[in-house]
């Protein structure tokens, strides 16, 4: 079964607004990763947060991790139309040898 579950499934916002996506997972992890997928393309890595980290920033992206709640959030600030994509969280399997993905959040940013 899938390890991570994103919420919401779909999100529509206006340019300039912030977008927040959440991810919950089931078992302990080494790290949690977020990916973006533009329509018809492969996934692109955005950010990795280790289990001993609570927050990480990369440009307009902010990721938080709460291991006690087994949850993570991805915040995109000042959204742009180019941020329109699907976003996935992923955690390692129990052996730490493969990534298991959630079903993703589809973000639409309109101008």
Residues lying near another protein in the complex (CB under 8 A) are found at 1-2, 30-31, 33, 35, 40-45, 48, 50, 88, 90, 92-93, 96-104
- Alpha helix ranges (H) inside 1-111: none
Report in angstroms how near the CB of residue 45 gets to another protein at its nearest: 4
* C-alpha triplet 15, 18, 19: angle, nearest 5°: 100
Categorise residue 16: left if φ over 0, alpha if ψ from -120 to 50, beta otherwise: left
Instruction: Please identify, using beta-carbon distances, which residue of 78 and 90 lies nearer to another protein.
Output: 90
Instruction: Please identify, using beta-carbon distances, which residue of 33 and 72 lies nearer to another protein.
Output: 33
């Amino acid at each position: 079964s899938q390890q991570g579950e994103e919420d919401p499934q779909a999100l529509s916002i206006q340019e300039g607004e912030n977008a927040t996506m959440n991810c919950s997972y089931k078992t302990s992890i080494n790290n949690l990763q977020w990916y973006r997928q533009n329509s018809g393309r492969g996934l692109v890595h955005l950010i990795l947060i280790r289990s001993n980290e609570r927050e990480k920033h990369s440009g307009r992206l902010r990721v938080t991790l709460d291991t006690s709640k087994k949850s993570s959030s991805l915040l995109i600030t000042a959204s742009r139309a180019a941020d329109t994509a699907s976003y996935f969280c992923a955690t390692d399997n129990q052996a730490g040898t493969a990534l298991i993905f959630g079903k993703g959040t589809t973000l639409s940013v309109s101008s």
